[in-house]
């Protein structure tokens, strides 16, 4: 359901008009709480307050109605994610005081409400992070003391949480890192030597406790890069983290990696490749079938695939794919071709799809072969699928045929000049295509990105990218995977963006919001949320510059404190002046008496 809602919103934005200087950009990530929250925490430490405010606004956008958070928007709220968001918003509140105050207090109250009677939350990690966040909140200046007994409840909740943590042992390395951090156990943290992303978690924990640690290497997840930045302050990690920011948030791919790479094969969509390729290496094949299926994606992303050498368990199309990949890599492909030539039956390899795929590869590799027998089989089979009805449903047999069967048929029939079969196939595709341009996997099923992109690619390969089918298919892909984000229009001391909400920050305080246009004079800066409801983009623009007051009690000097110090200084000065005058009078009187005595003598 969430995907459908997102697609609907993107369709609305892409097709809307009136945006001056709008840019169509890939929109394939979704914000996640751990990635965005830890990015905020790290950027706050290094003084990048624009990034802090951008991340905080996204956290506000994806919270539940109960001021709590799940891993991402629409997912069940959990203590650990609520704790992460709470820690991030505490820091944001110090940059835009008043903006997050109510949410922070509500989130803390939610954590107290969800605490178990034994002092824990759902599991060890939840308990450690909830304890850490509530302890920070108690130390902050933002506890609403107008709520009767709230501070006492917070104190009791943290006491019980700590007692639970002290009585239970963490099991995994991640649990140990959060548990030792919560309990302040530096020695146990230093004794840990986790690998991969958890190395950054450990470094973060030690730095949080005031201990310096060495850290090197690259990390894949934004949250790990953020923790590495927090621990080291390294400009390398800062640049990496900012590079991972998407429209003001940090997160993960919203779509499947292979779906995006399939779309990237279509002209005009190559920019999706850079988003998907970093994730390809994480997809591990567990069988020869999977290794063959992943091979083309590995090659697209500059990785070397591991192809099987034994073809006995593979389908004909997979053996043909091995030959094609070998050719792309400049390797000898005679073995898979010979295997296929010796394993056809009257010009047929198993079924319609396997046969058309083998023919496509053979033609691509200029394999000497009598194609006419196989092409005749494909043409007859196509007619049979279109004219024969399924006895169970009464529908034509081709209704049950996957769309990619028809897509590759277009490529083969066009390649061999089979105009009649080509037109028949195009007619079936035109009938199957939905009004929005999408293609389902089979007739009447849900629309799919991969099915649609496969048809678009096949038409492109066949030189039919001027067809209405192609135009509608690419329009659908663009509407789902891209967003029309207009550019901000600066106009002297004002800035304008239709349908945007501007959040204003002055003297480190949130001072209200405006719609469509903002007057920037005298501001620290402003936050642009576009559109104002259900945002797609958040950007913080500095004017005089964003500043942070310490969020912690006992840190920093307030105006009241300055006034008190001045009054004390005046009072002390007055007392000193009075005592000094009294001392001078006493000395003068003593001298006078002494002089009088000497004169009398």
The pLDDT tens digits of the residues spanning 369-422 come to 999 999 999 999 999 999 999 999 999 999 999 999 999 999 999 999 999 999
In a domain, 21, yes or no: no
Residue 498 counted as domain residue:
yes
| Statement to judge: residues 470 and 497 lie in one domain | no
Q: How many structural domains is the chain composed of? A: 4
Query: What CATH number has the domain bearing residue 174?
Result: 1.50.10.20
Please write the tens of the pLDDT for every residue from 141-188.
Answer: 999 999 999 999 999 999 999 999 999 999 999 999 999 999 999 999
Residue 274, token pair as written in the block = 């850079």
Q: List Cβ neighbours of 399 (8 Å cut-off, separation of 6 or more).
A: 390, 393, 442, 443, 444
Domain boundary among 483, 505, 522: 483
- Are 475 and 564 in the same domain? no
Q: How many CB atoms lie within 10 A of CB 373?
A: 12
Asked if 21 and 73 touch (Cβ cutoff 8 Å), the reply is no
530 in a domain, yes or no? Answer: yes
What distance in Å separates the CA atoms of residue 185 and residue 177, rounded to the nearest whole number?
10
User: Are 325 and 462 in the same domain?
Assistant: yes
Residues 119, 199, single domain; the answer is yes
Sign of CA dihedral 299, 301, 302, 303: negative
**275 domain-assigned:** yes
In a domain, 10, yes or no: no
Same domain membership, residue 213 and residue 312: no
Helix (H), strand (E) at residue 43: helix 33-45
Specify whether the CB–CB gap between 349 and 343 falls below 8 A. yes
Asked if residue 11 belongs to a domain, the reply is: no
**Does 531 lie in the same domain as 388?**
no
Positions in the chain short of pLDDT 70: 1-21, 555-601
Answer whether 489's CB lies under 8 Å from 496's CB.
yes
- Pair 245, 264 in one domain: no
**Vertex 89, ends 30 and 561: CA angle to 5°?**
160
Asked if the structure places residue 182 within a domain, the reply is: yes
User: Mind spelling out the 3-state secondary structure of 289-336?
Assistant: HHHHHHHHHHHHCCCCCCCCCCCCCCCHHHHHHHHHHHHHCCCCCHHH
Residues 6 or more apart whose Cβ sits within 8 Å of residue 444: 399
> Mean pLDDT over all residues of the chain?
91
Domain co-membership, 305 together with 331: yes
CB 31 within 8 A of CB 251: yes
**98 shares its domain with 177:** yes
Note whether 582 and 527 are same-domain residues. no
Q: Give pLDDT, residue 489.
A: 84
Is 230 in the same domain as 299?
Answer: no
Classify residue 371 as left (phi > 0), alpha (psi -120 to 50) or beta: alpha
Residue that finishes a domain, picked among 253, 286, 307:
253
Rg (CA), the chain: 34
Residue 414, SS3 per DSSP: helix
User: Are 277 and 226 members of one domain?
Assistant: no
Q: Can you give the residue range of the structural domain that contains 527?
A: 489-542
> According to the model, what pLDDT value does residue 554 have?
81
Residue that terminates a domain, selected from 253, 275, 296: 253
Answer yes or no: is 354 within a domain.
yes
Residue 362 and residue 369 in contact, taking contact as beta carbons nearer than 8 Å: yes
């Amino acid at each position: 359901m969430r995907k459908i809602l997102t697609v609907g919103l993107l369709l609305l934005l892409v097709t809307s008009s009136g945006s001056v200087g709008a840019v169509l950009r890939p929109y394939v990530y979704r914000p996640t709480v751990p990635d965005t929250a830890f990015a905020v925490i790290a950027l706050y430490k290094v003084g990048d307050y624009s990034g802090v405010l951008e991340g905080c606004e996204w956290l506000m956008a994806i919270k539940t109605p109960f001021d709590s958070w799940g891993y991402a928007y629409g997912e069940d709220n959990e203590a650990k994610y609520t704790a992460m968001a709470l820690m991030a918003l505490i820091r944001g509140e110090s940059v835009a005081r008043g903006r997050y105050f109510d949410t922070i207090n509500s989130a803390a109250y939610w954590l107290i409400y969800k605490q178990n009677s034994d002092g824990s939350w759902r599991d060890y990690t939840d308990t450690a992070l909830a304890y850490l966040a509530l302890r920070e909140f108690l130390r902050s200046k933002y506890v609403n003391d107008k709520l009767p007994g709230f501070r006492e409840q917070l104190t009791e909740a943290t006491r019980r949480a700590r007692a639970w943590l002290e009585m239970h042992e963490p099991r995994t390395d991640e649990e140990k890192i959060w548990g030792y951090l919560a309990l302040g156990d530096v020695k146990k943290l230093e004794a840990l030597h986790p690998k991969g992303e958890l190395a950054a978690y450990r470094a973060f924990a030690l730095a949080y406790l005031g201990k310096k640690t060495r850290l090197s290497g690259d990390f894949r997840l934004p949250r790990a890069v953020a923790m590495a930045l927090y621990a080291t302050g390294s400009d390398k990690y800062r640049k990496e983290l900012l590079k991972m920011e998407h429209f003001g948030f940090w997160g993960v791919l919203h779509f499947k990696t292979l779906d995006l790479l399939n779309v990237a094969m279509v002209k005009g969509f190559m920019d999706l490749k850079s988003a998907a390729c970093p994730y390809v290496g994480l997809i591990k094949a567990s069988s020869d079938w999977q290794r063959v299926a992943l091979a083309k994606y590995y090659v697209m992303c500059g990785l070397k695939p591991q192809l099987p050498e034994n073809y006995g368990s593979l389908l004909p199309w997979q053996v043909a794919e091995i030959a094609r990949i070998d050719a792309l890599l400049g390797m000898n492909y005679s073995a898979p071709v010979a295997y296929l030539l010796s394993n056809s039956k009257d010009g047929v390899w198993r079924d319609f799809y396997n046969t058309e795929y083998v023919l496509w590869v053979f033609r691509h590799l200029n394999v000497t072969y009598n194609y006419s027998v196989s092409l005749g089989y494909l043409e007859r089979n196509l007619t049979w699928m279109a004219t024969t009805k399924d006895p169970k449903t009464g529908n034509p047999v081709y209704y049950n045929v996957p769309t990619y069967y028809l897509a590759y048929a277009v490529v083969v029939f066009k390649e061999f000049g089979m105009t009649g079969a080509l037109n028949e196939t195009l007619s079936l595709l035109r009938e199957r295509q939905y009004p929005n341009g999408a293609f389902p996997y089979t007739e009447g099923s849900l629309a799919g990105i991969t099915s649609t992109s496969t048809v678009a690619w096949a038409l492109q390969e066949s030189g039919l990218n001027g067809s209405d089918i192609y135009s509608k298919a690419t329009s659908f892909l663009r509407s789902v995977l891209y967003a029309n984000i207009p550019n901000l229009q600066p106009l002297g001391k004002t800035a304008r963006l239709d349908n945007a909400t501007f959040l204003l920050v002055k003297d480190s305080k949130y001072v209200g919001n405006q719609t469509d246009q903002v007057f920037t004079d005298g501001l620290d800066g402003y936050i642009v949320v576009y559109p104002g409801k259900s945002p797609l983009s958040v950007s913080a623009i500095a004017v005089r510059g964003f500043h942070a007051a310490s969020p912690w009690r006992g840190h920093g000097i307030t105006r009241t404190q300055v006034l008190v110090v001045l009054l004390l200084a005046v009072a002390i000065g007055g007392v000193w002046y009075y005592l000094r005058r009294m001392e001078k009078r006493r000395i003068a009187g003593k001298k006078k008496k002494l002089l009088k005595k000497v004169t009398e003598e």
